[in-house]
Structure 1
Amino acid sequence: MRQIFEWLGVPFSYDAASATVRASHQGKSLTVSAGNSAAVINGAKTTLPQSPLIEAGRLYVPARVVTETFSGSIRWDGSTLHITVRQ
């Protein structure tokens, strides 16, 4: 997730105590927490397709949620198991 935020130029913060990520850029915002299937996207509570989770000390969030919140696009190629993120 860090790489997607950085690639999109979106500053973010991570609170380890609550396992929560907050990001805001150009009037758009995203708040997600590990184990919570709800996120706050641009001020509105939204149900995520998959709850963020912590594995091996890292927080994983659905890439599509991060990318599309900040006006990017994402494409999944199941045959190669590859994603393409565009700004």
Structure 2
Amino acid sequence: MGFVAVVAAILLWGPGGSDMGFSSIMKLMKWNALLTLPMFIFMGYVMSESRLAEDLYKMFYVWFGPLPGGLAIGTIMLMVMISAMNGLSVA
């Protein structure tokens, strides 16, 4: 999609249109919230390999299972806990 957008910008605005795509990419790469993404993925991998995520999921299921929508509540609580551990408050 980005390639098509840059080609369309070049066709519409001439050679200066290619700067729009480059500036958009650089603006995205400088976004501070993007810095937590690799840590979030690494934390998920570590929790998956150590079976910690499975144990936490079972814990939340035992706590919230009897409630209506308990599985959804447990899933949300697990994601809140993981995002709090690595500092991703946006999640």
TM-score (norm 1): 0.29
Write 1 or 2 for the structure with the bigger share of helix: 2
Flag the structure with larger Rg.
2
Write 1 or 2 for the structure with the bigger share of strand: 1
* Higher RCO (CA-CA < 8 Å; seq separation 6+): 2
TM-score (norm 2): 0.28
